[in-house]
Amino acid sequence: MVYRSSRRQAERDSEPEGEALQEFSTETRGMDKPGQLRRQVGVWRTATIILALAALGLLVAVVVLVVKEDWGSCGGGRCGAKAKNPNFIDLSEPDVPGPFHDLTKLEISKVREFITKDPKIKAADPATATVDSSYMFMMDLIPAKKADTFSGQSQANTVDIPRAICLFENNNGYPIRRHLSYSQGEGAFYNGMMDSVLVFRTALTIVNYDYIADFIFHQNGVLETRVMSTGYIFPSFYTAAERPYGFQIAENLVGSLHHHIFHYKADIDISGTSNRYETLDLKPDQVQIRAVNETYHQVRYERSLKKTEQEALYKYNFDTPMYHVVHNDAVKTQFGEIKAFRIGLHGMSKQLIPEGVNTEVTIPWARHQLAVTKHKDDEFISSSPYAMWDSKNPVTDFSKFYEDNEKIVDEDLVFWITMGMHHIPHTEDLPVTPTVGNHLTFFLFPYNYFTDCPSMASRDQIRIQHKDPSDPTKGVRVERYGRSDETCSLPPYYQEYDQVLENDPDTVLESRKVRGLF
């Protein structure tokens, strides 16, 4: 990273205040008269242009001065004695435009001081910095506004965003579990429960796109993490050369192909912090049936313990299906089996840019769908706010997290999960991309962790069975586990459901009309 905005700013900072510009003169002696005449005409033309530019510059300066005076009573931040107040932040403009050009010298020095103190950041010397030193140097071409660069730049404390999250209960509209054994021969009962969940939601708007992030808690102990994409697409000008990269979706506009990628950190502790990660690898199997002298093909699983960080790196392969589980080897079930949680990956996406090329260096975490590392306090995040501009020398390089290839058996483990999807925009993405089909999820499933499904303890379930199993013709009864109709407000016609079952119990269970097994 180039820690000064440009070589020009470096020179500016080294100049003493009020240094006069050097004056240069042009030697004209020895010229012939026509040459001198042409020279004089050129000088007058040049002087006229300079005067015109000076007048234009003066007009702009007056406009800027008026705007800055209207902006605040302090004249754009220059408040005299107030500037001596340590709590007052000088908002005056630097004298030379450049990257972050509306930062003051004091603010630039603070940024420089922060960067140089971090041993992980290899700052380049601004006097010799080139484009190859860092993509941050390219910022000199498009100066960034301070408001676009920092959050809460006008105060020392963090910024509070009101109503940024919401917590609510939601009925997903489908059962978390159900079963109907209709016939008497099957036991004649119904049991089911709706999937009512607790949702923790926030929405992130990044320029044109909105990402809705949900953390969903199910009553069977499953934690679901989901992200949905919406917002408006960022098009390009349509030309024939753009055909391989998107469809023309409007007059002169092409919807550019792009890739949404997300990286999640799951710090999972199962029965303590001494955990191990293993896969349950599904493999083809065959056994010989001696009675008929035939080979029977089936599927079995093999447990595979991952011992090091690099051994745990996972790239999805359709030919090698597997379960991913994490558990404490010292804690077993009553049957001596692993008491674990399973990681279910349901949003995997292939990153197609070759490793180490161009901006791919800024997203090494996208190379694998799952990575497992030993917990370290200084490896708390896989990227940095500077990732867009520092591909030559990333501030945070996720590949370094597992480069040392530490052992991960019976350690405090962190799981890094990558999800994504490619998007080739189409006209139905106008005016705003819908979320339908743009859901990416991963799950943390309890796996042999409970003795049975935790939702069995919920009063949200319902059970229907015969009043007298020995005489089904007496009808059925509905068990709501203490819930009343008032607890769950239903449409009026549903209030008559119990009466319907009383009149015709065969609606739900075989009672008076024998139909047999089906």
Hey, which residues are catalytic here?
132, 209
3-state secondary structure of 323: strand
Cα–Cα dist 275/413, whole Å: 7
Alpha carbon separation from 26 to 39, 52, 222 (Å, rounded) = 10, 22, 82
User: In sequence order, what are the residues at sequence separation of 6 or more whose Cβ sits closer than 8 angstroms to the Cβ of residue 145?
Assistant: 102
Task: Give dist(CA 396, CA 382) in Å, integer.
Answer: 7
Under DSSP, the state recorded for 170 is E
> How many whole angstroms separate alpha carbon 258 and alpha carbon 207?
15
Place of tokens 């008559």: 496
Residue 47's Cβ-count burial label (10 Å; 0-12, 13-18, 19+) is exposed
DSSP string, 380-446: --S--TTTTT-TTS-SS-GGGGTTT--B-TTB-EEEEEEEEEEE---GGG-SSB--TT-EEEEEEEE
Question: Is-contact 518 510, C-beta < 8 A?
Answer: no
Chain centroid, CA 93 distance in Å: 35
Residue 370's CB is within 10 A of a number of other CB atoms, namely 21
Residue 292: CA atoms inside 13 Å, Cβ hemisphere, count? 5
> Within 10 Å of residue 222's Cβ, how many Cβ atoms?
20
What are the distances in angstroms from CA 35 to CA 29, 42, 89, 338? 11, 10, 57, 97
Does the N-terminal peptide bond of residue 431 adopt cis geometry, omega within 30 degrees of 0? Answer: yes
Rg for the chain (alpha carbons), in Å? 34
Q: Tell me the CA end-to-end span of the chain in Å, nearest whole number.
A: 70
Query: Do residues 182 and 509 lie in contact, with contact meaning Cβ atoms separated by under 8 Å?
Result: yes
277, 270 Cβ separation under 8 angstroms: no
Q: Tell me which H or E stretch contains 111.
A: helix 105-117
Tell me the sheet residues that pair with 180: 190
Cα–Cα distance for residue pair 420/438, rounded to 1 Å: 10
State how far the Cα of 21 lies from the Cα of 502, in Å rounded to an integer. 101
